[in-house]
Amino acid sequence: MADLLTPENLVNALSLGALYALIAVGYTMVYGIIKLINFAHGEIYMLGAFWALLVVGMEQATGINLFVAIVPAMLLCAAVGMTVDWSAYLSLRRRLPLADGLSIGGLTLLGVGAIFYKLTGDTTHAWYSEAAHGVFGWSIVALVPVVMLALSIGEKGGMLGRSLGRVSSDRLSALITAIGMSLILQTLAQLVWGADYRAFPQESIPAWMNEPSFHLGDAPVLGKELTMWVVALAMMAGLHLLVSRTKIGTAMRACSMDQETAALMGISVDRVIAFTFLIGSGMAAVAGVLYSVKVGGNISFRMGYYPGLLAFAAAVLGGIGNIRGAMLGGVLIGFLQGFTGGTFTIPFLVMILVLLVLPRGILGEPQATRA
């Protein structure tokens, strides 16, 4: 036990806690409004690292800084999150035939295009052309998602027709849909980027991030770990101000309490839901990039699976639907993993034990029963 309670493990625990808190917030915000566990959220975290790596690779000749690459990664993941809501979850909330048809067509085109991109990338076949392969690859990575994003924005603006009413889908349908979206994003990432592990080139990472900023006991705190703490605190503080002090934050809290009443008061519930996906996905992208820098690589199509599960456990432990609970749960899960040698078992066991005593989580609030 004494070997685990070391300054090095404390530094690692704080870094993991910041990471899981950033991801867990996305889970808890979506659940708080539409009561959906978005299991595709871990894949958004994975895409954030890939997008940043793609931007760094494009501009490597100009020596682009990693922090500059985080910005387009956040924007792209925010767009993907909103598109996932429109293409997969919207039809579970209300009937909009035109949007449903376009969504099915777009997802089919994206899947077929990714498969064809993988096949044409086989250099042993006569049809292989590096130029054509590159152009087609960009059309998959950028064009189809951009078109689907434009359609999702059009739907939020009421350009795709009026809804024919709400849909009373059950929780099991939503759960299966979320798991399906997770597998789709994983498979597409594998087809486009392959299964090999990747890492950010050293020239894109500022030198100070790999140098000690200060010491915590005998353990040096590197610049990249300090960056994770500062960025996580800043984003959490910004999110708290957004939810508590802004008009859109008030709309989010109203939709979380009662969607029907919020709609009667003039709030566009679907736009609020889309904004929630946008914010949560952007924060997950930052977590993916910073964690990849911390471990020196580990960028692969499977990198979002275990962090996604642990972040989900953090959201449940803190109180699913409660943003402060997600932050607290993320820190607790990070400490449990950091002080137990990185094992995944202990955090889940502690979560189960806590839920036996506090079924709603540490900061979870009792649900009001309406007559």
**pLDDT tens per residue across span 260-278:** 899 888 888 888 888 899 9
Tokens of 353: 């034990």
Mean pLDDT of 320-341: 87
Is 80 exceeded by the pLDDT of residue 162? no
Instruction: Round to whole Å and give the CA distance between 344 and 350.
Output: 11
Query: What's the pLDDT score for residue 95?
Result: 66
Indicate the Cα dihedral angle 155, 160, 164, 166, nearest 10°: -10
Q: Which domains does the chain have, with CATH numbers?
A: 7-94+166-357 (1.10.3470)
Q: What is the 8-class DSSP label of residue 369?
A: P
Q: What is the mean pLDDT of residues 281-310?
A: 89
pTM for the model: 0.82
Nearest to 226 by CA among 155, 290, 143, 183: 290
* The residue to which tokens 């950091």 are assigned: 338
pLDDT of residue 132: 55
DSSP, collapsed to helix, strand or coil, labels residue 58 as: helix
**Beta carbons within 8 Å of 234's beta carbon, 6+ residues apart:** none
CA atoms of 326 and 334, how far apart (whole Å):
12
Q: Which has more pLDDT, 316 or 340?
A: 316
Tokens of 129: 């052309």
In this structure, what token pair is assigned to residue 200? 């950010």
Q: Rounded to whole angstroms, what are the CA distances from 206 to 16, 91, 177, 183, 313?
A: 21, 44, 40, 34, 33
The segment with the largest mean pLDDT, out of 62-76, 101-115, 154-168, 327-341, is 327-341
* CA dihedral over 357, 362, 364, 365, signed as positive or negative: positive
Q: Rounded to an integer, what distance in angstroms lies between the CA atom of residue 80 and that of residue 282?
A: 9
Pick the more confident residue, 343 or 355.
355
**Relative orientation angle of helices 247-257 and 269-295, to the nearest 10 degrees:** 100
Confidence (pLDDT) at 169: 62
**Whole-number Cα distances in Å, 63 to 55, 69, 180, 198, 286:** 11, 11, 38, 18, 20
